[in-house]
Amino acid sequence: MHEINRSHPPVSPMTNAYSERTFPPFSLSRLLSTVFPPTQGARVCILIDLPKPALMADFAFLKEPLFTIQRHAFEVFHEGLRNGVLSELGMTGGEMFAYEITGGSNLDLPDTCVDVHGKTHTLEEAVYTKYDLILCVSTYSATAPLTASAKQFGFRGATLHGLNPIILSTGLAVNYNEVSVLAERFRSGLTRADRVEIDFLVAGESATLRLELGQQEAQKSHGLCPGKEPDVANLPAGEVYFVPVGAEGSFPMKYEDGTLGMMTVTGGRIVSARLLSGDAAVIEAHNAKLTFDPVTGELGELGFGTQELPPSGRDIQDEKILGTLHVATGRSDHLGGKLTPDRFASRLNATHDDILFSSTKTPEIRVPQARVFRDGAMHVVIEDYLPSAYVRELMAHA
């Protein structure tokens, strides 16, 4: 329903306050040594997804111009590891495997994969039990299934779906120790909140979504997996998030084709969609899915970006930009929620789909204000896709 790697329209530099920020050159060695200390003695591999995993044999996929994400996996990660990074960081391995593309965000991965020799293996035998670090560079996010496997088999890893040159030169070029510090400052100002309210304005119609948080500890995606405890980082990182315990109200959503709909939320779930503009068939299909598989409408995440980054045209980076927010429907077990794949009427529906609101992704939708209620006080967090004074003060404090 919500394709993760969709591109955004071209963005004027004036629409993003952070487009003038300079970044150091991307360094694979710096990224891995910062995210995964200690690296000494670790065995590492790379996973990619392909419509036909047999194209992994002899790197045949490199002949196909459409596989740009997978090409980055080869050129940046595979070749980078083999050309000095393995020895520099005291790691071994560097092999690549391909699994069949899942077709949806955070759907369970298939059981098998193919190596560079064209041989088919099970992921469990060839990858999960053989490697200490697994880098998954894919079309669709694999964070949820890979996190579940990490807990089962004891590896660490990172999911880096939708890679493009902007992400490589900005979101993956930053110092993740600094990202972690800033995320913690943001987290400290939101944690143990009672609720968040978000106001929307679209096509002359206003709406408010109220998300109950139950005074839970806010979580952060900060890109660090130190030690040897099983963990999977979603890179680029830089957000603070909650798994809502309830939600009521309404909010607009922009579909893949640009259709705009208004979602009605009751009991923590989207229960119906109403057409605002665009293709009525898109709304009809969404409503049919909600009727057949009601948990697909469950709101399983509320997230706020914490990094000063330029928009990349990929949600994986753009939802990490300070001033943006996202809600997500569906699977939430990888975030500490209770919605697991077995609770869906169809496992093909067991996705976790982020719905991003930003000045570049959803310029048709205004977010006049997002407010957090905690400790008996109300604090504005976002105003028109810009961080509030409250947030700026949080981020500035050492």
Domain that holds residue 102: 24-171
Q: Tell me which of 121, 152, 171 is where a domain ends.
A: 171
Our measurement of the distance from residue 16's CA atom to the centroid of its chain's CA atoms, rounded to an integer in Å, reads 20
Helices vs. strands in the chain: H and E counts, helices first: 11, 20
Give the rounded percent of residues in the chain with a pLDDT score beyond 70: 95
The predicted pLDDT at position 14 comes to 31
Summarised one tens digit per residue, pLDDT across range 44-96 is 999 999 999 999 999 999 999 999 999 999 999 999 999 999 999 999 999 99
Q: Could you tell me if 187 and 316 lie in one domain? A: yes
| Number of domains within the chain | 2
Structural domain includes residue 9: no
Q: Tell me which of 123, 139, 171 is where a domain ends.
A: 171
Measured CA to CA, the distance from residue 180 to residue 34 in angstroms comes to 11
Summarised one tens digit per residue, pLDDT across range 5-48 is 333 333 333 334 455 789 999 999 999 999 999 999 999 999 99
Residue 295: pLDDT above 90? Answer: yes
Measured CA to CA, the distance from residue 343 to residue 151 in angstroms comes to 20
Each residue of 166-187: b (16+ CB within 10 Å) or e? Answer: bbbebbbbbebeebbebbbbbb
Q: Could you tell me if 158 and 237 lie in one domain? A: no
Q: Could you tell me if 234 and 251 lie in one domain? A: yes
Structural domain includes residue 18: no
Q: Could you tell me if 200 and 113 lie in one domain? A: no
| φ and ψ at residue 102, rounded to 5 degrees | -80, -30
Q: Tell me which of 171, 188, 222 is where a domain ends.
A: 171
Q: Could you tell me if 55 and 110 lie in one domain? A: yes
Q: Could you tell me if 189 and 321 lie in one domain? A: yes
Q: Could you tell me if 120 and 233 lie in one domain? A: no
Q: Could you tell me if 89 and 188 lie in one domain? A: no
Summarised one tens digit per residue, pLDDT across range 179-221 is 999 999 999 999 999 999 999 999 999 999 999 999 999 999 9
Give the pLDDT band of residue 228 (cuts 50, 70, 90).
confident
Would you say how long the chain is, in residues? 398
Q: Could you tell me if 355 and 207 lie in one domain? A: yes
Structural domain includes residue 210: yes
Q: Could you tell me if 209 and 342 lie in one domain? A: yes
Residue 128: pLDDT above 70? Answer: yes
Is 392 in a helix, a strand, or coil? helix
Structural domain includes residue 2: no
Residue 3: pLDDT above 50? Answer: no
Handedness of CA 358, 242, 104, 44 (dihedral sign): positive
User: 112-115 and 92-100: which strand pairing?
Assistant: antiparallel
Angle at 172 between CA 170 and CA 174, to 5 degrees: 70
Structural domain includes residue 288: yes
Structural domain includes residue 366: yes
Neighbouring C-beta atoms of residue 125, cutoff 10 Å = 12
Give the rounded percent of residues in the chain with a pLDDT score beyond 90: 94
The predicted pLDDT at position 21 comes to 83
Residue 324: pLDDT above 80? Answer: yes
Question: Helices 389-396 and 176-190 sit at what angle, rounded to 10 degrees?
Answer: 130
Summarised one tens digit per residue, pLDDT across range 235-264 is 999 999 999 999 999 999 999 999 999 999
The predicted pLDDT at position 10 comes to 33
Structural domain includes residue 17: no
The predicted pLDDT at position 5 comes to 36
- Residue 126: in which H helix or E strand, if any? none
Q: Could you tell me if 31 and 70 lie in one domain? A: yes
Our measurement of the distance from residue 194's CA atom to the centroid of its chain's CA atoms, rounded to an integer in Å, reads 24
Q: Could you tell me if 122 and 208 lie in one domain? A: no
The predicted pLDDT at position 186 comes to 97
Structural domain includes residue 4: no
The predicted pLDDT at position 19 comes to 52
C-alpha distances out from residue 56 to 47, 93, 163, 301, Å: 10, 17, 18, 35
Our measurement of the distance from residue 82's CA atom to the centroid of its chain's CA atoms, rounded to an integer in Å, reads 28
